[in-house]
Structure 1
Amino acid sequence: MTAVTWSGPDTTHPARTASRRSMDAVSRGAKEEWLALFAEDGVVEDPVGVSMFDPTGDGHHGHEGISKFWDMTIANVERFHFDIRDSFAAGNEVANVGTITTILPGGSRVDTEGVFVYRVDDAGLIVSMRAFWETERAMATLRQV
């Protein structure tokens, strides 16, 4: 299984390019490369709002906060597969629609359906990554592989 399956448009757009680079870095476990995609004051909201990863719902701010988010979430996943079925670019943002499959230690699998929105600055750095997904729906897919 490839790490990213892309069925959305292949037209060049700065936010779409940044989102694809982000997924690629995550799938390879390339933390420093992933952090370098973000502006210094970038924000990650994954998922948007109050969650087990973000008790205040304010998001993870700056490289330090985003790095802690990686350590708390991404670093604990053995393997990622991104299946992006569609992608809508407008202005300096892109909304990707798809499923992120995570394989967790011990062989558990979770499929997270969602809409993943990236906003970039004029330099193409990510200033905001907002993931719209529902914990209960994702956890309902939990199974052993």
Structure 2
Amino acid sequence: MPSETTMRTAMQAYLDALNNRDVARIIALFAEGGTVEDPVGSGVHDARPGLTRLVGGLPDGATFTLDTPIRASHGSGAAMAFTVRMVLDGKPIQIRSLDVMQFDDEGLITEMKAYYGPSDITS
């Protein structure tokens, strides 16, 4: 089972890589066969192509900022609440998300679920 420190470090690395548009770094954080559901309810996808599309679709200047410290568990999961700020079609928007990730024994992400709904997307 991964340690709390391992899970927190991986989640911070994920957020940092999003801010730097570092797709290779993001992919390296995921286990082979890892999945992404962003947002929950939109379907589960293989992490590698799913994250490549997600990061590739981010507008220039999008930022990801933690709202609270990353939370770990007694098991192999952790969560982080953050806000994404960006400009789409000339209009500033923000998305408040809660991402929950599961980890394997090596500390790689096996599952990422992003929880946000229409009311979490504001201008």
Q: Same fold (TM over 0.5)?
A: yes
**TM-score (normalizing by structure 2):** 0.81
User: How many residue pairs are counted as aligned between the two chains?
Assistant: 120
**TM-score (normalizing by structure 1):** 0.70
1:118 aligns with 2:101: yes
1:82 aligns with 2:82: no
| Residue aligned with 1:104, SS | strand
- Cα distance between partner residues in 2 of 1:77 and 1:45: 23
2:19 partner letter: S
Structure 2: where are the runs of 5+ without partners? Answer: none
Structure 1: where are the runs of 5+ without partners? Answer: 1-10, 51-56
- Cα distance between partner residues in 1 of 2:54 and 2:66: 22
| Residue aligned with 1:85, SS | coil
Within 5 Å, give how 1:103-114 maps onto structure 2: 103-105=86-88, 107-114=90-97
Shift of 1:107: 4.7
Q: Is contact 2:18–2:55 with CA below 8 Å preserved after alignment?
A: no
- State the percentage of identical aligned residues: 28
Alignment partner, residue 42 of structure 1: 34
- Cα distance between partner residues in 2 of 1:18 and 1:129: 12
